[in-house]
Chain A
Amino acid sequence: MENLWNLTLGSGAKWSGIISKGKLIRIRALEDGANLSGLLFNAGNLTESYNMPDTLKAQHTSRLTRGNVLMSDNGRAMASIVEDDLDWHDPIGGYTTRQLTDEKYGKTTFQENQNEWFRSGEENLAMELMRNGLQFRDMVPVFNLFSKIKVDEFGDMHFIEGHCKQGDTVTLRTEMDVVLLLSNTPNPHDPRKDYPSVPVEIEVLPAESVKEDDYCVNYRPENKRAFENTWDYYKLVTQ
């Protein structure tokens, strides 16, 4: 399939942009141990965003993998996970703050360290929110691609090291016109001390139209209803 666009996001880098519905976003870890934090907003209505509790609750899951749909707070399918080498992406670990980044990896500043300074998810996402007409008040729980956090029977959270290997790939399909915000910053639960952020490659390709027997649509009855809500929405906002 024709590759429409690609970008390599280096350690600590950020990106945001509008991606219309019906596209594949293929993301590949270029080294072991990647973590890419993401948020989604409806490009046609920025008050609608990816909602972690609604996504998890509807699919009875606390991890994200193939078949899962990233749902909005308006009950719609925003993007689906159509391919996945990893079987587990983290929706509950959150993003690094400036304070945690300084405390954990040592304080860095641009003046002192220039391009080697350590960026935080908090600042990266705050800037990309502002770029898209949003504010820090719009910050909600992110999804962390490539990371795995297990929760034991006591509720304690355990980051699983060595989960993501070089070359591991996950592919999202946009079901809506979305604003995608990305921050290639560490998972806050990653115990490694050496600023664990590695480059990822992003390719965007056209997706085939969603068929009745689509894996993500039929993954759960809840998913089908979320898709139906999205299709219904587009009956009104497109010709």
Chain B
Amino acid sequence: MTMLTKVKSSREAADAVYDYALPAGEGWMYELEPGQVLRLVDTEGNQAADTLFYDADNPEDHFSAIHTISAQKNVYLTTGSKLISESGKELLEIVADTVGRHDTLGGACSAQSNTVRYAHDRLPMHNCRDNFMLQLAKHGESFTKRDIAPNINFFMNVLVTPEGGLSFEDGISGPGHYVEMKAKCRTKVLISNCPQLNNPCSGFNPTSIRLLVWDQ
């Protein structure tokens, strides 16, 4: 099994300019200035933070999971990973990570994909893409559903196998584990704190995540 590289941060919560506990199943949108640092804390462990980014100076340019993994020739994210937009712009860089691996291929749950993955009767259940759409709708500008590109699942352990398989494994995150990233430009962050009740990875118990921002 792979050795996971874990890098701790020297930043103190007391120095943060923003500190918020995002409840399970809720959405969040925030704009980072260049140089600001965002930390996501997996408060109780094995929660999924479904996250997208946009270039705030050109919101039509969304995060690209595939450009990001292609640039580093590796499908997982950890400290040192540069998060790249569809146009090739570097939006952020992961600067600390106590988990060691985050998912780029699993995407966000939706009402419709839940009917495919689990059963038709799951259609009414709350889901991440509904959160994304509500946040984008509230945010105005010219966002539409078409701006919801494949996202990062921080804290999720989605394994790709050499035989071409893909499986959701139990989390390698845990209570208090975190990932921290520095904005390289004005960046909009869109998070759905996953309300997934169908996935055993969360123990069928979605929990809050803590969001902290530092000016540097």
A interface vs B, CB < 8 Å?
Answer: 47, 49, 51-54, 56-58, 60-63, 71, 73-76, 88, 92-94, 97, 99, 134-142, 150-157, 188-189, 222, 225-226, 228-229
A76 to B168, CA, bound (A): 22
Chain B CB within 10 Å — which of A54, A60, A92, A151 has the most? A151
Task: For A74, list chain B residues within 8 Å (CB).
Answer: 110, 112
Residues of B106-141 at the interface with A, using a CB-CB cut-off of 8 Å, are 106-108, 110-117, 119-120, 129
Indicate the member of A49, A136, A142 with the most B CB atoms within 10 Å.
A136
A138 to B61, CA, bound (A): 10
- Among residues of B, the one whose C-beta sits closest to the C-beta of A65 is B164
Number of A-B contacts (CB under 8 A): 139
Q: Is the CB of B166 within 8 A of A54?
A: no
Are the C-beta atoms of B105 and A56 separated by less than 8 Å?
yes
Contact A153 B1 (CB under 8 A): yes
**Which residue of chain A has the shortest Cβ distance to B68 in the bound complex?**
A94
Q: Are B74 and A156 in contact (CB under 8 A)?
A: yes
B60–A225 CB distance below 8 A: no
Q: Does B13 contact A (CB under 8 A)?
A: no
Q: Give min CB distance, B175 to chain A, whole Å.
A: 25
Closest chain A CB from B25 CB (angstroms): 20
B117–A57 CB distance below 8 A: yes
Residue B178 lies at the interface, judged by CB distance under 8 Å to chain A: no
Complex contact A73–B110 (CB within 8 A): yes
Contact A139 B107 (CB under 8 A): no
Pair A62/B164 contact, Cβ less than 8 Å: yes
Which one of B75, B107, B115, B167 contacts A53 once the chains associate, using CB atoms below 8 Å? B107
Identify the 9 closest CB pairs spanning chains A and B, nearest first: A53-B107, A75-B112, A63-B164, A94-B66, A155-B76, A151-B160, A137-B60, A62-B166, A141-B66
Q: Give the segment of B29-37, B91-99, B144-152, B206-214 that binds chain A.
A: B144-152
A51 to B149 alpha-carbon distance, docked (Å): 9
Return chain B residues, CB-CB under 8 Å to A75.
Answer: 110-116
